[in-house]
Amino acid sequence: MKKMKNSIYAVAFAILFLSACKNDAKQAESNDVNSKEIQADATTQKSDLTSAIIDGYMVLKNALVNEDSEKAAEGGKMMLTAFSNFEMAKLTEAQHTKYMEIAESAQEHAEHIVKNPIDHQREHFEDLSKDVNDIIALVGTDKTLYQDFCPMASNNKGAIWLSETEEINNPYFGSKMLKCGSVQKQIN
Amino acid sequence: MSLFKKAILLLLIAVVGIQFMPTARNQSNEVLETDFLITFTAPNNVRNLLKTSCYDCHSNNTNYPWYDKIQPVSWLLENHIKEGKKQLNFSEFGIYSKRRQKSKLKSIINQIEEDEMPLWSYKLIHKDAKLSEKNKELLAKWFIQLRDSLP
């Protein structure tokens, strides 16, 4: 009886040990996936999957430049439609999980932009810009875009936005500081 | 019966009638693993402030006032809590993606600093939920620290 108990312990121990090894292997694998993703960021893939999202974003961005809260809400609505029409089936499995996470956050920001005054819209535009930027890094775009940076936005912490023109037009401050900011990166 | 009396009677019937409107109560004895205060370690003063000023509408467990049983108050509260939890549920904070956690922390900081939260209508009755300037600063500072510590 005691012998049997011992062998059960031995088997249990072996299973535990093996499954621990397996986890390690899995982790190494997922690390690999991460590093691949970062490499892909360096050159943006050509894809038209994100076009509608970017179109909505630009309507929103330009409305904020022009201090037009109503038009900004319209841009937010366009983005919500674009997200619900997004063809997720065309993503790879690895892209899919990451996309879901970013899209969930982006949609939440867009919802706030649809129903709030301009100050609050700009607050959510900050994070939304990050989300859209990350979606482009993940999925790609066939548009030529500029990633701009304003050091004074977000209470002087600085914030990025995306633009379809090389010329700086600041959506965070509008006419107050229209030219504040610089191009950080050109996409495509 | 005069028209006035009829109107009063009708109103009375309506007020009594709506008392039977069912409402869902937001109460749970279980503290989820995903609770904000389990996901992150907070000092006691922060914990207490969150529980008295935020958790009634932003968690799965509301500490109801006595008048909650009266309609249309309970219906109003139910909607407040539903909307509050949709925007931010401390009981489920641990399930949020890191991205969402960070953006929620940012919104929390802004809401506190801009005096948007707790809602004025809530503070009207819950005097203890009102945040003093000192406590506002304390909370904002702690939340900023937490946000900046997240990768």
Of the residues B83, B85, B99, the best mutation for testing chain A's interface (the one with the most A CB atoms within 10 Å of its CB) is: B99
Region A145-161 average pLDDT? 92
Percent of chain B at pLDDT exceeding 70? 99
CB atoms inside a 10 Å sphere around CB A61: 24
Rounded CA separation B36/B61 (Å): 13
Cα within 13 Å of Cα(B6), Cβ side: 3
DSSP state of B126: -
Q: Are A108 and B100 an interchain contact pair (Cβ–Cβ within 8 Å)? A: yes
Q: Minimal Cα–Cα distance from A138 to chain B, Å?
A: 15
Q: Minimal Cα–Cα distance from B73 to chain A, Å?
A: 26
List the domain boundaries for chain A. Answer: 1-42, 51-187
Contacts of B130 (CB under 8 A, 6+ apart): B53, B118, B123
Angle B56-B34-B99 from CA coordinates, rounded to 5° = 100
Q: Are A108 and B106 an interchain contact pair (Cβ–Cβ within 8 Å)? A: no
Q: Minimal Cα–Cα distance from A161 to chain B, Å?
A: 16
Neighboring chain B residues of A109 at a CB cutoff of 8 Å: 103
Residue B1 pLDDT more than 80?
no
pLDDT for the residue numbered A109 = 95
- The 10s digit of each residue's pLDDT in B50-69 is 999 999 999 998 888 777 77
- The 10s digit of each residue's pLDDT in B7-31 is 999 999 888 887 777 777 787 777 7
pTM: 0.75
In contact, B98 and B151? CB cutoff 8 Å: yes
Rounded CA separation B77/A164 (Å): 45
ipTM of the complex: 0.75
